[in-house]
C-alpha cells in the first residue's frame, strides 16, 4: 500500500475534524491515497465522542473562561482535552494487514506508535484491557481514566488514547499522543461536580496519565516527536511505501470547507441540538 504522510501543526478544531472526515470521504471514493496525518490544536479543545451528550461531559462556562473550545468527533470514545499534544490520524481501506476487527486494526496502529515511542526512549506496553460500549458512553467518564485493549501505556499510565469509525469498508482512527501535559486538567472542566470531587478526579487523572515530556530527561517539541512517530510507522510497516506530501487535493479542500461550515462549526452537530 502506498501511504501519504501529512504533517501540520496547530489548527482550528473545526478544521481538524473536517479534514479528517474529508480525507476519509476521498479515500472511500478512491480519490485520495491512504493517509497518516499529524497535527495539534489551537486553541486547546475538549472533544467528545460521537455518541456522548455534550452537556453531561463539559462545563461550557468553565471552558469559555479558559478560552478553550469544544467539538464533537466523528469517531466514538470519550472526552479528551487536546492541549499541546501530537494528534495522529490514520485513514485507509479496511484491507490487507489493516483489515479485520476493530481491535486488530487498533493493534497494528498501536504497534507503529509504540515503535515511535520506543525510538524516543519510552518503553510502552500494549494494554490488554477492554471497555464495553456502555462504559465508553458513561457521562463524566474521560477517555484517559482507563485503557482499552491495544492502547498504549507507560508504567500503567496511559500515554495514548484513540478512537475509530468505519464507513464503506474504510476507516478513520485518530488519537492523542500526550506531549507536554497529562490529562489532569480534564477534571476541572467536568460539569455538575463539587470542587472537592473535581480535585479528586484531577489527582486521579494525573496518576493515570503521563505525557512524553514527563518521561524524557530532554524534552521533545512537536516537530521532533512527529519525526520519531513517523519513523515508527515506516519501521513497523516495513512492507509499505510512504511519501511525505502536505499538499491536499482540491477535492479534499472543498469537502473540508463544506464540512467546517455545515457541520463542525454548528451547535446542531457539536451539541446535537
Give catalytic residue positions: 143
H or E segment to which residue 174 belongs? strand 170-178
80 SS3 class:
strand
248 secondary structure, DSSP code: P
Bridge partners (DSSP) listed for residue 41: 11
Closest CA to 48 of 12, 74, 9: 74
Using CA atoms, how far apart are residues 108 and 150, in angstroms rounded to an integer? 9
Using CA atoms, how far apart are residues 116 and 226, in angstroms rounded to an integer? 9
Number of residues assigned to the chain = 273
The DSSP annotation for 53-121 comes to -HHHH--HHHHHHHT-EEEE-SS----EEESSEEEEEEEEES-GGG-S-HHHHHHHHHHHHHHHHHHHT
Using CA atoms, how far apart are residues 268 and 100, in angstroms rounded to an integer? 33
In this structure, the number of other CB atoms found within 10 A of the CB of residue 101 comes to 9
Amino acid at each position: 500500500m502506498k501511504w501519504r504522510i501529512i504533517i501540520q501543526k496547530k489548527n482550528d478544531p473545526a478544521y481538524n475534524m473536517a479534514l479528517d472526515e474529508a480525507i476519509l470521504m476521498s479515500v472511500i471514493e478512491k480519490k485520495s491515497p491512504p493517509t497518516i496525518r499529524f497535527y495539534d490544536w489551537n486553541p486547546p479543545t475538549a472533544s467528545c465522542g460521537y455518541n456522548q451528550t455534550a452537556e453531561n461531559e463539559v462545563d461550557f462556562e468553565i471552558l469559555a473562561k479558559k478560552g478553550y473550545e469544544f467539538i464533537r468527533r466523528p469517531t466514538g470514545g470519550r472526552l479528551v482535552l487536546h492541549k499541546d499534544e501530537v494528534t495522529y490520524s490514520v485513514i485507509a481501506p479496511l484491507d490487507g494487514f489493516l483489515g479485520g476487527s476493530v481491535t486488530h486494526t487498533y493493534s497494528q496502529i498501536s504497534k507503529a506508535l509504540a515503535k515511535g515511542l520506543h525510538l524516543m526512549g519510552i518503553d510502552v506496553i500494549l494494554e490488554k484491557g477492554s471497555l464495553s460500549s456502555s462504559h465508553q458512553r458513561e457521562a463524566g467518564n474521560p477517555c484517559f481514566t482507563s485503557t482499552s485493549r491495544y492502547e498504549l501505556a507507560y508504567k500503567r499510565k496511559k500515554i495514548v488514547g484513540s478512537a475509530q469509525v468505519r464507513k464503506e469498508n474504510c476507516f478513520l482512527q485518530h488519537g492523542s499522543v500526550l506531549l507536554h501535559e497529562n490529562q489532569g486538567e480534564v477534571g476541572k472542566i467536568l460539569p455538575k461536580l463539587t470542587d472537592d470531587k473535581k480535585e479528586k478526579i484531577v489527582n486521579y487523572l494525573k496518576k493515570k496519565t503521563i505525557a512524553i515530556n514527563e518521561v524524557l530527561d530532554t524534552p521533545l517539541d512537536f516537530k521532533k516527536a512527529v519525526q520519531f512517530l513517523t519513523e515508527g510507522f515506516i519501521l513497523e510497516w516495513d512492507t509499505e511505501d510512504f511519501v511525505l506530501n502536505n499538499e491536499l487535493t482540491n477535492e479534499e479542500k472543498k469537502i473540508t470547507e463544506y464540512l467546517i461550515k455545515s457541520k463542525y462549526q454548528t451547535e446542531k452537530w457539536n451539541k446535537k441540538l
